[in-house]
Amino acid sequence: MRKVLSALWVAGCFACANAQNPSASAVSAKASAPVDFTGYWVALVTEDWRFRMITPHKGDYQAVPMTPQARKIADAWDPAADEAAGNQCKAYGAGAVMRLASRYHITWQDENTLRVDTDWGTQTRLLRFNTASAAGERSWQGNSVAQWEKPSSLKVTTNNLRAGYLRKNGIPYSENAVVMEYFDIAPLPGGGQVMLVTSIVDDPQYLLLPFIVSSQMKKEAGGEKWNPTPCSAK
Amino acid sequence: MQREMILLFRYVLVFCLVSGFASAQVELTGSWAARNHEFLTGDGLPVDFTGIPLSPEAQIRALSYSNSQLAMVERQCQGWPAFYLVQGPFGLKIWSETDPLKGSVISYTIGGWEDRAPMTIWMDGRPHPSKYALHTRAGFTTGVWEGNTLVATTTHMKAGFLRKTGAPSSDEATLTTRFYRHGDILTLLAIIEDPIYLAEPWIVSRSFQLSAAPLAPIGPPCVTTYEGTTRETAPHYLPEKNPFVDEMTKKFGVPRDAAEGNPEALYPEYRKKMAAGK
């Protein structure tokens, strides 16, 4: 009898561990999603308003733990030069994209890839659960590896980035920056949902400490207010 | 056989309890250092209510606020309401009180500071008091676990301020705080509702990082002193005569209605309005 009970215990523990780690099974990320992030989300600009809704003045770097080298680069920020060089999307890269005053449309591109589109800057992020397919040249959105964190979170790690800006006034992150994000969803009073994205940008070249911000987006019923507008360096 | 069935029952019970606890909670106690990479309230300019969806009444009242009120002896130690958890520059020291018999958490306490009262989050299922009960600076808070997220609900706060620049909060305001822990990062999502001074819920968040260095569970005592404001004086402005009403516009180019807490300014389409110069 004791052997039977021990076997039951081991089987139970195995089942529990397997439930915590869906990647161990052949079930797709979409099928094993513990929570539904898809839909239209609108940024709630309730914090850092003057850094997000308007382009801050050169030299307004409040609260960013910049290295002296980063400050020198930011002090030389020239939006016209960025436009001329085709770098008008530098402030729309993965290090800052979820902090934009934008709308976000999240869909499943395939069974193992979540797609995030922004209307401001018309950026596309691919959050891949199947890491084998991640590769390619550096880009504004880099390579993002996604994994579910039970019971209800999404963890995304992004690298292979082009150097970009944390804020529109030229606060830099380097191409070696790594962006870690956690996505969570909470109910709103009176119905609806809010998505919380905690973003940690780690860049020893330009940041004295990992840059940690959290942003909120409210779910919208549809895409009626979706308004694609191109990147602007100004 | 009966003894073996009892044994089986105990195995199953222990398994369920262990797996249930493991999946339902995370450790929140410890010292969580502030990183302050987001807006620091009170460190900006007066008449900065950007990002707060103030009601029309609140916008008028906010414009009447003078920071010199803090020089009044009776206001020097008033502190800030529980919203200050996600507004102020301080870290969080969190500890728990444990039931000595059951081992369950009776409450969590978030330590205070000179201008922030400690917050006790009751986890033992006690109800919130009557709406006529005493309102305090910290308010009354209960908590429940939703998966790995602690959800704390605060009521019974004294009327105070949503932001140190003078955006008001009423004693009917409530605060729902969700604690998300991811590794050594703790993010608080705060949903603030105020039927009098907010046009819609104000949703803000702040992240903290686990610190090996212990944070103080309490700040220095607040001691009042004469700061030059006579007893007969209550510093304020007539709303239409606030001399700082254009500071955000002059210094940062923020439109005046956004600085005054226009709820429309929280949403991306407000950029179009700005571009059109409206």
Say which CATH topology domain B30-44+75-211 has: Lipocalin (2.40.128)
pLDDT in tens, A57-75: 999 999 999 999 999 999 9
Query: Binning pLDDT at 50, 70 and 90, where does residue A180 land?
Result: very high
pLDDT of B208 strictly over 70: yes
Nearest to A46 among B15, B51, B147 (CB): B51
Nearest to B254 among A1, A54, A102 (CB): A54
Quick one: what percent of chain B has pLDDT higher than 70? 90
pLDDT of A112 strictly over 90: yes
Strands A171-173 and A178-187 come out as: unpaired
Query: Binning pLDDT at 50, 70 and 90, where does residue A15 land?
Result: very low
Stretch among A164-173, B11-20, B205-214 having the lowest mean pLDDT: B11-20
ipTM: 0.89
Q: Which residues of B touch A167 (CB under 8 A)?
A: none
Return the domain boundaries, chain A: 1-26, 33-220
B265 touches chain A (CB under 8 A): yes
Residue A18 in 3-state DSSP?
helix
What pLDDT, on the 0 to 100 scale, is given for residue A24? 46
Nearest to A47 among B38, B254, B269 (CB): B38
B181 touches chain A (CB under 8 A): no
B128 touches chain A (CB under 8 A): no
pTM of the model: 0.90
- Give the mean pLDDT of B123-144: 97
With CA atoms as reference, the chain A residue closest to B25 would be A151
Disruptive mutation site among A35, A103, A198 for chain B (greatest number of B CBs within 10 Å)? A198
Number of Cβ within a 10 Å radius of residue B154 = 25
The nearest CA of chain A is from the CA of B106 a distance in Å of: 24
pLDDT in tens, B83-108: 999 988 899 999 999 999 999 999 99
The nearest CA of chain A is from the CA of B206 a distance in Å of: 6
| CA-based nearest residue to B205, from B229, B233, B185 | B185
> How far is the CA of A32 from the CAs of A24, A114, A210, B182, in angstroms?
11, 13, 31, 20
- 3-state SS, one letter per residue, for chain B: CHHHHHHHHHHHHHHHHHHHHHHHCCCCCEEEEECCCCCCCCCCCCCCCCCCCECHHHHHHHHCECHHHHHCCCCCCCCECHHHHHCCCCCEEEEEEECCCCCCEEEEEECCECCECCEEEECCCCCCCCCCCCCECCCEEEEEEECCEEEEEEECECCEEEECCCEEECCCCEEEEEEEEECCEEEEEEEEECCCCECCCEEEEEEEEEECCCCCCCCCCCCCCCCCCCCCCCCECCHHHCCCCCHHHHHHCCCHHHHCCCHHHHCCHHHHHHHCCC
